[in-house]
Structures are given as structure tokens and as C-alpha cells.
Structure 1
Amino acid sequence: MKCFYLIRQILGSLSCAMALCIVYIVPGLAQPQAARSYTSEKVLLSGGDLRVEIDRHTGILRALHHKTAGTIIRDEVSRINHLWTLSMIDQGQSVIVRPQDFIDFEIMCAAPNEAQLIWRSYKGESASAFTIAVHIRIDSLTSLSYWNIAVEGMSDMILSRVSFPQVSGIDELADGTLAVPHWMGELMRQPGQALQSSGVHSFSWTYPGLLSMQFLTLYDKEGLYLACTDTAMYAKQFAARFDQDRGMVLDIEHIPSLSPSATYKIPYSVVIGGYQGDWMTAATLYKSWAVQQDWAQQSRLKNRLIPDWVLATGLWIWNRGRSEEVLQPLYALRQQFDEPISVLWHWWHQGSYDDSFPEYLPPREGTNSFRDHITLAKKHGIHALVYMNALQWGDQTASWKKQEAARYAIKSPSGQLHTHVYNVFTNRSLTNMCVGTPFWRDWYADLADTLLRDFGLSGIYMDQACIQRECYDPTHGHPIGGGNFWAHASQQMAHEVRERGSIATALSGEGSCEAWLPSLDLFLSLQVSRERYAGDDGWEPIPLFQSVYHEYALSYGSYSSLMSPPYDEKWPQANRPDTQGLLDSIYSQQFMIEQGRSFIWGMQPMLANFTADQLLQRPQEINYLLRLARLRKQYPQYLLYGAFCRPPVILPAPLMQQITLSKLSIYAGQNEHVRAFQKDMPTVLIGAWHSADGQLGLPIVHLGSVKTHIRLDFKAQDYDLADRGNLYRSIENKKQFIGTYQNGKVYTVLELEPREALILEIEPIN
């Protein structure tokens, strides 16, 4: 009787059967020590190495402990529950609903690792039966907690946003590192300080789209892992915010489609976990789930559906303009580089860039000239991806009015168009089209069909393909608002384009995203050159996408250039810069770091704005790039198809060198000048890749100007290698046996020449 009274006192009115379950979740509840675990205001859930503490009065997440990592979340001060927030539409008015808007709260526990938090008796005038239920379960095998939220009894209210969970109590981690799969991946050190000092006090990323995978991690010595298990690509937004009362906060905003339904439940789980490690540890957690999903199993790289010419490409050139500017320099380059070259081709179209889309045809140099040059290039083994924006329509073009394109454009909740001025010279805007409309998909696919069939092009670069949008136009036929219509419609558009091409047709998207793995052949990943377009803004590029999906996705791309940006001949001549030419050689080290990153991160290399005179004027940089490209082509088992591994630690730690970096928009003119800044960079870069047959390849780049030595010393078992094996040092066209390793310990000393690139191969003997 005393036991039952204690349970009722703590958890409110429960059935007798549920009460017996509660007795089970806290062994020895009748003992004074165990009883105090409840009277101390917390409900404890545990499973595997994870323990979660929930405030029994408010449902606040008070703590998350991991057996090896320690305390990940600690919130002993909050008095108001911010675990979730609902954005509703009630009789045409926006309403925010929070836990404190309910009178009754209770916790029901079904097992030691499982609980349900329930809020009832809404204080608002609408929806008297309004109920919110949060379900929490800890998986004992993975030591991860799985969270879901369900809304019932909404009556006439419509749900537009669900912010859940809002995770605070992470101030100790806020001085660590935040890693986010913003396309390829980025990290920020001391994000708490950055958020507090920034004007907006928040960073956010939409999935699927700018967020290529549905997780982020915050870590110092211990790490917080926040993810979703969404297999159907629903719209959501991950965010990091600074709150004056709570400090740094991480949250996920789920964006359902607008529908008058009395109930809603997030159609997947949110994962909260802890670990000891860094972003690579978090990536391993995510990969164990992600590669089992359909998008990975149906990826074009995994299933060998990517055209052979794409896989064979040794170097990409990103050039702009007419054939003589884009293709002609490549014939000179072929004299020094005998691997296949492919080109990403911008500014081939009749109108000016970034305001005339989709009025691409006829090509600016004329139909016959364009077709003839493409045919000639293919005879020389040069294939082209031409630019076609997958999202935008110029709203001052003749076709915009003639086709009444506004009908098929994205609409905001108030019916406004989504427009933006990219072209700073003409100030003419582009408007976002809705891929959920058959009209836009057909229009785009028909244009692609003309290019692929009539001109014999090898593929399309679908700019802005890997981007998510919401659309609220009820006439389009898709679910209104968020939901998951966008990703599926975008995939359908890629499918319709591919149907009009041939088996050799390649499709590329901008950025990286798991949702498009079955649809696109290549992912343009420009963050190897992040400093070139973003400067030193606190974010650093990391190969987060490759660490999960390298063997499932082909990444390429770089802004890496030896030239100042070109100027489109179709832009106003008044803004044309006085001089366009080579960048100062003080930026050469930046070029080499960018190309070195591409090499060790398993990407197809790219050179932007190539001209034939660079072969004579910048021979050191060009030769360095070609050496990397040749070496990469010799080892596809690692750098094309390999699985990412944590690189071994270089001993002694590589020297850091202060180099001069350039920040310059890809647009020239408008008083845009090179902005120089200094940054410390390591002189040695290293990666690690497992081949399918169990060997380990370590690509290494030395960026220094003088000879140096490095040591590698690691355990074979850390890389699933046998206890003994052979070591080979591979440079361009030369593989040299340099020794063996024994007793499960890999140890070697390498001498590195200035600007040398090599691959250290570890071949186990089983």
C-alpha cells in the first residue's frame, strides 16, 4: 500500500498494471535509497551505456549520461520546459503552443528504458481534448535514445511546425566543436561564443538540401549526437541557437504539410546519444544506420550506373564562355596530361548568366558551331556537363510572361513569389519554380532533351538541384507546405531528364545530399575552397559526407583557380573590370591546399578558369595538380570506391605555416577586389581509405617548401588489418616496397620532398 501511494504521489493517477511496471523500472523502489531517486524530482531511464534523467514535474530533460563519455547534458536550473514548441494556425491566426500551456502533466513508464510524457488540459480556448505525448526509448544495444512526439485532439487548429527536441544544458560542450553536414561538411570551434556574438544568434540548415545528412554533433572530450531516422525525406531544419536564459541550444524543427487533421505524429524518431570522440565518431554512428537505407542501396555509384566517362575522368576543368574559351585550352592541356579530361561548362547559353534562365537556346556562339565543337571534343575524349539551373526562371524574360510561369512558381503562405537577385550587374531577379508541378519538370526535361539529343552533350549540371523548398500553392496538386513532396518531385525531374538521354548521360547536382544518391551521378562539392568564397568566418571544411557515403557517391569540384574571375560578355560593359588575369603568386599555397584536400578526401579534382597560358606562367602549380590527378587515377580502390577511415596521427605534429589566402566572389566587377587574409595551415595532409579487399591506403600531401620527415605509428586492429603485412610507398607511376609490419603494430618513417604527394599502402598478410 505504501508503494502504491508513493507511485501515485510521484506520477499521478495510473492504472494498477502500469503501477506494477513502475515498480519494475526502479529496482528496489521500496528501499529508502531507491525511493529517493524519485523524490529527488527525477525519473531515470537507462539502457546499455546510456542514462536519461527527466524532471518528474515538468518533463525537462535534466541530464544525459554516457558510461564512457560521462555527462553530456546537464540542466539543473531550468524551471520552464522547452522540450517542444508547436506552431499552429487557429482560426487564421498564428498560435505558439508550449508545455506550460497545459495544466496536467504525467509520466508513464513501461520498462526501465522506456517512458511516455503526456500533457493534457490545454489552457487555450480551442481544442479542449488537445494532448501532447512524447515517447522516449533507449536502445540497449546501441546506447542511443529514440524520441517521438504525437499531437492529438487539434480540432480546428492546423499544425505548421514542430520544434522538438530543444536540447539545452550543453554549455560545457559549447566551448568545444560543432560539426554539421552542411553539404560536404563544416565544423566550428567554440560555437557558443560565435552564436552569442553573432547578430542573429542562430545557425540553421534545412534537410533535405543544404543539410546533406540528418544529424549534427557537438563535442569536446565527450560528444552529443543529434539525428533523425527519417527514411522518407521529410522537410526539417536543424539549428544551433543562443538563448539568453539557456545558453546554447540545439533543436530540430519538423515541417509537416498543412492539413486539417486532428492528429499528427512525426513519422520517424529523433535520436539523442552520447559518445567519446569527435565528428568522425559521430559519422560512424550515422553511417551504421544510413547505408542500410534505400538511398544508399540504390545509389548510382554502388550499382555501377554512372557513365563510364565520368568514372574515367582524371581532371575536371570549370570554364565559362564560348567554345574557344572553354574547350580550346583543353587540347593544350591534353599534351601534358594523358588522362581523360571533362569540362563543367557555364555561360554557353544565349542570355546573360543568372537572370535569363531558362532561355538557354540557341547557344550564344550559334547552333552549328556549338554542336561541331562538342563533337570534336568528344573525339579527343573530352566530355561536357553544361549548366542548366534546376530551380530558377528569370521573371523579366519574355518566356516568363508568355508561359505564365508565375502560376507554377513557389508560393509563400501569403501567396508571394520566392525571388532573389543574383546578378549584381543587371539587378534582374530569378524566381524559384516548383518542382512539384508537372509543368516545370516537363519544361526542364524538354530543354535537356534538346541538348542531349540534338547537340550530343554528355550530361547536365543541374544547379540548385540539392535544395529543399516549401510551397503553399494549393493549385499545384502537391501537399501544401512542407512534408516530403519536394525531394520526391526533384528525384522525378532527374528521372524524366535521364529518360530523354542515353546510358552515357550524366547528371550532376550542386552540393551533396543523401536524398539524391539514386538520382544523380555526381555531387559538386566546393567546400575544399571554402576560404575562397567565405573568407575566415569561423567555419572549416571537413569531408563529413565522404566519411559516410564515399563508396556510394562521387564528389568532385573546387573553386580552385589561378585566375581572377571571368566576366560574362552578356553583362553590362560598364562594370567590366579593367584587368583580368592571373592572381598573384602569393596565393599559390592556397591553390595547393585546395587541391591537396581534394586528393586526400577522395574527390575528382577540378581546376577553375583554365587558360592555356597557365601552362607556361604557372608551371609549378599546374604540374603539382597533374601529379595529384595522375596518382589518384592509379588508385581507384581507395580514392574512388574506398571507405573513409580515421587518418592516423602524424608524428611529430605537422608544422603549421601561415599562408596568405584570397577571398574573391566568383563574380568580377562591381568594385569587387581580392581580400587577402592570413591563416595557419598544416604543411602535411593525410587521409585514410579502406579498399573493398581489405587493404588500407593513406594519401599524403606535403605542402612545405623544404624536405621533412614524418612518423606513422598505429595499431593494425584499429583498421581491421591482420597482425602482419607489407608496406608500399607509391608515387606517380612508381610503387616501392619499403618494409613490413609485425605483431599488430604499423610503424614507418617517411621522407617527404617539397610538395610531394604519395600513397602509403598497407597490405595485410592473412
Structure 2
Amino acid sequence: MDAGTTIRLESSHDVLLFDAATGALVSFRSKAVPDQEFIIAGSPQPVFVVQYLDEKRRFRQCQSDEAAEVEVGIVASSEDGGTTTLTAQFRQLAELDLDVTVTVRAAANDRYSYWSLSLRNGGDLGQGSPVADRITDVQFPFIVSPYSLDGEPGTEALLYPFGPGVLLESPKPQDLQPDCPQTWQMRPENGDCCHYPGLTMAQFLAYYNDRAGIFVSCRDTDGMIKLIMPVHREPGIRLGISHVGDWPQRGERRLEYDVVIGSFTGDWYAAADLYREWSLQQKWAAIPLSKRDDVPAWLLDSPPHVILRIQGELDLGPAQPNEAFLPYDKTLPLLDALAERIDAPLVPVIMSWERPGPWVYPDCFPPAGGEASLREFTQLARERGWRIGTFCNGTRWVVGHLWSGYDGTDYFAEQGGDRSVCQTHTGELWREEWDATWRPSYPACLGAPQTRELAQNFIRTVTDLGLDSIQFLDQNVGCCTFPC
């Protein structure tokens, strides 16, 4: 594109070009490597995609190029290091009473460009049906890079923070999920904890080769729900971010945080350092763990933790009580010998103690072996200067255990469990899939009063039994809240 059809923004590190008619990003180049392009040429992309439910609870999408009117402008300011701001307004998306405004800011004294989006929903997404006026997510910004960058062939690498972290070297389409609507939908077959915060444990993506890389990150300090993942979008790699939930059924919302984009040189360490530099300035990391005053001294001392599995040996296996550990004080000679040998206090961690079978919740009391036995054990352990911990099932409502024979369907009905557990986009109860072959369950919604009440009562009971360290949200992987 020539200068007459594009709008140019510059940061201290990068040059960005936008289509003057559509507002779409058409070029991103690092000043360190100005001949290397990170955006696929000749492949028009939207500025954003909005996903919502129609009057029949079906997922639908509309995107920026379906707006009845698009207005793109630019304003330059001599303040703040010479900031230039692009503003793109999209009115009446797909003939709906839905408007979106996008802004992108860049300054000569800042390495990043800053991207923001605001949305106004007039509330007619389903032609007046209140069920349909639900925006499920907004995907923004759109960055699609080629599989082959202008460097040494095969040096391309893709970093995304899923689980312990994933590094794909020389990524191929088959390494990624396809960029289709289902990929960005919260539904049981996609799992209930792959989002951020959850199994996705940080808010950035990076793609690079031996010459330079592109870094995309959300500057969200409050842990708002997102899907952050690279996907295959023909003919390249999309560095995808979806901002999930909290969109108004009627009204306006501006994203409470910016998305930043910038280039870097180096490998995945350099990209991770960019995110780390920002993270260490935030409330959750500004004070090192060793200097926080809300962490017990005994925990900072990091005493040895010893797992005592009260029932069974494996999650997916027989769940009979372990006679070597019951009654609970039967373990003390073994633990005393270990503490003497290593000359240190211990933290016995009681797990798989739930009466109907390992990981059953909330119908889990009294514990296997009885309350009196467990309370006596915790008292004797504390007399030795030890602490006692446990793992728990978080907010997953378990309705059966196929190895122990537990059937909790009647308990679920009697307790009104349907008021607590999550629902799918169709209004059905969200039945978990990954544990269905041994411990069928439903994820429970943390926004439901009953879920919180059950959790509070559980913690009170466990602490009354004498336990000190309770990893309650173990099965809310990454301490995530479940989709509902």
C-alpha cells in the first residue's frame, strides 16, 4: 500500500501501518530489522470480531468489516513524547445496534503501541429477545504473521504461556488449533480452565526468529477472563486474544486495560523478560514472597511436606482405605523417624480422605477414619511443632465415584445442586468431560451464592479438624473461575 492509503504510527522501536479505510493493521516492522515484515501482505483481516448468542442461544459472530459506517482518523500531539493516536469508529455492525471504537497510541519515547477498544450495545442482538442480548467475547487485536519470516529458515519460534509454558519451534499449521468460531467459545468440549487466569498463566504471546520478534500482551492488573492462544488463520499464525465476559447486555464498556504490541530481539527469554518487567511492578509481585507479611513464617521456612494418601494409590484406581495410615495416629512412628533423620519439622499432607472416595466434594464429611481420629492426629502433630496440610477439590461438585461405588445424584438433587453448578451456552448443566470415566462432576459457579456458602462451610470444618494449610482451589486449575 502507498502512503495515501495507509496511516503510519511510530514507537521508539517499531513502525506500524494501518489501512486508512478499514483501520486494519497491514504492516508491523521493527526498526532494528526494518526489512522484516511481521504481517502477512495481501490477506485482509478484520480489526476485531464480536461473538454473541442469538435468540436460540446459538453462537453468532460479526466483525469490523460488517459495519454500516467506518470512520478512521489520526491525531498527533506534541505532549507525552509526541503521541500519535489512531481512532477507528465502526457503527451498526451487521445491521445490529452495535458500535465499536478502537484506538491505537504510539509515541517516540515508548517501545510499545497501546491498543484499546470500547463497545456500545443497544441491546437488539436477538431482535428484542433478552436471552440473545449477550456478547460472549470480543477478539482484539488481529495480528496474523507468516509462518516463514525473513531470516534464517527454520528459526521461527512461537511462545505462549499455557501450563508450564509452550515453545513451538518452526511451527506448522497442524501444531495449532484452527481459527474457527468454536475455538473461541466457552463450551465443555473446550474445557473449563484453559483460559486466563487458569491453565493460561500469563497474558502474552511472542513470535520471533533469529533476527527479531513481535510481543503482544494485556496490561490487565485485575485478572479479567481472556482466551490467549496462537491459532492457524489461513495463510498464517494469528496471535489471538479474546476478551471474555462482562460485556453489557445494554450499555457501553471500554476495556479496562490496554493491549500492548512491541518488537524485541533475542529468544523466548527476551520475550518473557518483557512480561516479567511489567509483572514485577504490579500489586501481586511488587513485594517478593519472602518479604510479604501475609505469609506464615513456618511456610516461608519451607518444611518438608509428606503426602499421606488415606484411600487408594491412584486417582483412577481402587479407593479402599489404606490400613497403614488408619487410624491416623498410626502414621506417627513413620513420620517421627523421618523427622529425626532429617532433623526438621514436617508438614503431613492429608489427601484422598473424603468419606465417599478421593476428591469427592461437597458430600465429603465425615472424613475416612472418622473425625475423632483425624482431630487427635492433628493435635499430636502440632505438639511436635508440625503443621498439617491438605489438597481439596475446589468448586467441582462430584456426583459419583466409579471406583468406590459412591452415587451422589440424590444428594445433588436434595441440595439443589443445579443452583450452584455452571451452565453451558444452551442453559444445560455443564457436565465435566475429563473425569467422567471415574469421578463424574460439574464445575460450580463462583458467582453463585450457594457455591460460596458451601466453600466457606467446608473450610470451617477442615480448620476445625486442625488442618493449617488448605489448597482448596487445587481443582480450579490455576485458581480459575469456571465459565458460566
Normalising by the residue count of structure 1, what TM-score does the alignment of the two structures yield?
A: 0.51
Alpha-carbon offset, residue 460 of structure 1: 0.9
Q: Which stretch of structure 1 is more off in the superposition, 279-288 or 320-329?
A: 320-329
Q: Which residue of 2 aligns with 1:261?
A: 250
Do structure 1's residue 44 and structure 2's residue 8 form an aligned pair? yes
Q: Deviation per CA, 1:602-625: give whole Å up to 9, x if none.
A: xxxxxxxxxxxxxxxxxxxxxxxx
Question: Cα distance 1:258–1:417, how it changes in 2: closer, same or farther (>3 A)?
Answer: farther
Q: Deviation per CA, 1:440-485: give whole Å up to 9, x if none.
A: 22222222212212x21112121224123222xxxxxxxxxxxxxx
Aligned-partner residue type, residue 109 of structure 1: I
Q: Deviation per CA, 1:681-713: give whole Å up to 9, x if none.
A: xxxxxxxxxxxxxxxxxxxxxxxxxxxxxxxxx
Which of 375, 380, 386 is the matching residue for 1:382? 386
Aligned equivalents of 2:340, 2:33: Cα separation in 1: 56
Equivalent residues of 2:228, 2:242 under 8 A apart? yes
Aligned equivalents of 1:56, 1:459: Cα separation in 2: 57
Question: Cα distance 1:225–1:418, how it changes in 2: closer, same or farther (>3 A)?
Answer: same
Do structure 1's residue 145 and structure 2's residue 150 form an aligned pair? no
Aligned equivalents of 2:425, 2:287: Cα separation in 1: 35
Do structure 1's residue 283 and structure 2's residue 272 form an aligned pair? yes
Which of 214, 226, 232 is the matching residue for 1:236? 226
Q: Where in structure 1 are there 5+ consecutive unaligned residues?
A: 1-35, 472-766
More RCO (CA 8 Å, sep 6+): 2
Do structure 1's residue 118 and structure 2's residue 88 form an aligned pair? yes
1:248 partner SS: strand
Aligned-partner residue type, residue 430 of structure 1: S
Question: Cα distance 1:370–1:262, how it changes in 2: closer, same or farther (>3 A)?
Answer: closer
Q: Which residue of 2 aligns with 1:156?
A: 124
Aligned equivalents of 2:200, 2:176: Cα separation in 1: 23
Alpha-carbon offset, residue 134 of structure 1: 1.5
Aligned-partner residue type, residue 236 of structure 1: K
Equivalent residues of 2:387, 2:467 under 8 A apart? yes
Q: Which residue of 2 aligns with 1:366?
A: 370
Alpha-carbon offset, residue 317 of structure 1: 2.8
Aligned equivalents of 1:121, 1:436: Cα separation in 2: 33
Aligned equivalents of 1:419, 1:303: Cα separation in 2: 39
Aligned equivalents of 1:364, 1:120: Cα separation in 2: 61
Question: Cα distance 1:324–1:436, how it changes in 2: closer, same or farther (>3 A)?
Answer: same
Q: Which residue of 1 aligns with 2:156?
A: 176
Question: Cα distance 1:323–1:444, how it changes in 2: closer, same or farther (>3 A)?
Answer: farther
Once superposed, what is the RMSD of the aligned Cα atoms? 3.1
Alpha-carbon offset, residue 144 of structure 1: 0.5
Provide the aligned length of Structure 1 versus Structure 2.
Answer: 428
Do structure 1's residue 350 and structure 2's residue 363 form an aligned pair? no
Aligned equivalents of 1:451, 1:399: Cα separation in 2: 21
Question: Cα distance 1:318–1:81, how it changes in 2: closer, same or farther (>3 A)?
Answer: same
Question: Cα distance 1:340–1:286, how it changes in 2: closer, same or farther (>3 A)?
Answer: same
Aligned equivalents of 1:120, 1:165: Cα separation in 2: 14
Q: Which stretch of structure 1 is more off in the superposition, 57-66 or 171-180?
A: 171-180
Q: Which residue of 2 aligns with 1:468?
A: 481
Aligned-partner residue type, residue 369 of structure 1: S
Question: Cα distance 1:83–1:125, how it changes in 2: closer, same or farther (>3 A)?
Answer: closer
Aligned equivalents of 2:480, 2:455: Cα separation in 1: 16
Equivalent residues of 2:68, 2:95 under 8 A apart? no
Q: Deviation per CA, 1:398-434: give whole Å up to 9, x if none.
A: 5323221211211223221122255566x45111112
Question: Cα distance 1:68–1:317, how it changes in 2: closer, same or farther (>3 A)?
Answer: farther
Equivalent residues of 1:410, 1:434 under 8 A apart? yes
- Correspondence 1:505-544 to 2 at 5 A: none
Alpha-carbon offset, residue 145 of structure 1: 0.9
Alpha-carbon offset, residue 299 of structure 1: 7.8
Alpha-carbon offset, residue 91 of structure 1: 5.1
Aligned-partner residue type, residue 267 of structure 2: D
Do structure 1's residue 186 and structure 2's residue 190 form an aligned pair? no
Aligned-partner residue type, residue 450 of structure 1: T
Q: Which residue of 2 aligns with 1:102?
A: 67
Aligned equivalents of 2:18, 2:385: Cα separation in 1: 63
Equivalent residues of 1:102, 1:122 under 8 A apart? yes
Alpha-carbon offset, residue 194 of structure 1: 4.4
Aligned equivalents of 1:449, 1:291: Cα separation in 2: 34
- Correspondence 1:328-347 to 2 at 5 A: 328=332, 329-347=334-352
Q: Which residue of 1 aligns with 2:238?
A: 249
- Correspondence 1:50-69 to 2 at 5 A: 50-68=14-32
Question: Cα distance 1:139–1:279, how it changes in 2: closer, same or farther (>3 A)?
Answer: farther
2:284 partner SS: helix
Question: Cα distance 1:141–1:381, how it changes in 2: closer, same or farther (>3 A)?
Answer: farther
Aligned equivalents of 1:75, 1:198: Cα separation in 2: 17
Q: Which residue of 2 aligns with 1:82?
A: 46
Aligned equivalents of 1:218, 1:362: Cα separation in 2: 52
- Normalized per residue, which structure has more helix? 1
Aligned equivalents of 1:255, 1:102: Cα separation in 2: 21
Do structure 1's residue 457 and structure 2's residue 461 form an aligned pair? no
Q: Which residue of 1 aligns with 2:261?
A: 272
Aligned equivalents of 2:161, 2:275: Cα separation in 1: 11
1:191 partner SS: coil
Q: Where in structure 2 are there 5+ consecutive unaligned residues?
A: 77-81, 126-132, 185-189, 311-321, 400-406
Question: Cα distance 1:154–1:140, how it changes in 2: closer, same or farther (>3 A)?
Answer: farther
Question: Cα distance 1:308–1:262, how it changes in 2: closer, same or farther (>3 A)?
Answer: closer
Aligned-partner residue type, residue 441 of structure 1: R
Question: Cα distance 1:302–1:412, how it changes in 2: closer, same or farther (>3 A)?
Answer: farther
Q: Which stretch of structure 1 is more off in the superposition, 189-198 or 257-266?
A: 189-198
Alpha-carbon offset, residue 364 of structure 1: 1.0
Question: Cα distance 1:441–1:120, how it changes in 2: closer, same or farther (>3 A)?
Answer: closer
Aligned equivalents of 1:219, 1:126: Cα separation in 2: 39
1:336 partner SS: helix
Q: Which residue of 2 aligns with 1:418?
A: 430
Aligned-partner residue type, residue 352 of structure 2: W
Alpha-carbon offset, residue 135 of structure 1: 0.6
Question: Cα distance 1:450–1:89, how it changes in 2: closer, same or farther (>3 A)?
Answer: closer
Equivalent residues of 2:137, 2:247 under 8 A apart? no
Q: Deviation per CA, 1:492-539: give whole Å up to 9, x if none.
A: xxxxxxxxxxxxxxxxxxxxxxxxxxxxxxxxxxxxxxxxxxxxxxxx
Alpha-carbon offset, residue 290 of structure 1: 2.2
Question: Cα distance 1:422–1:359, how it changes in 2: closer, same or farther (>3 A)?
Answer: farther
Aligned equivalents of 2:249, 2:436: Cα separation in 1: 43
Alpha-carbon offset, residue 99 of structure 1: 2.4
1:216 partner SS: strand
Normalising by the residue count of structure 2, what TM-score does the alignment of the two structures yield?
A: 0.79
Aligned equivalents of 1:51, 1:290: Cα separation in 2: 26
Equivalent residues of 1:207, 1:468 under 8 A apart? no
Question: Cα distance 1:85–1:198, how it changes in 2: closer, same or farther (>3 A)?
Answer: closer
- Correspondence 1:284-683 to 2 at 5 A: 284-297=273-286, 302-321=291-310, 324-325=324-325, 327-328=331-332, 329-354=334-359, 356-395=360-399, 396-397=407-408, 398-420=410-432, 427-453=438-464, 455-462=465-472, 463-465=474-476, 466-471=479-484
Q: Which residue of 2 aligns with 1:165?
A: 141
Question: Cα distance 1:299–1:362, how it changes in 2: closer, same or farther (>3 A)?
Answer: farther
Q: Which stretch of structure 1 is more off in the superposition, 443-452 or 256-265?
A: 256-265
Aligned-partner residue type, residue 95 of structure 1: R
- Percent of residue pairs bearing the same amino acid type: 23
Aligned equivalents of 1:418, 1:285: Cα separation in 2: 37
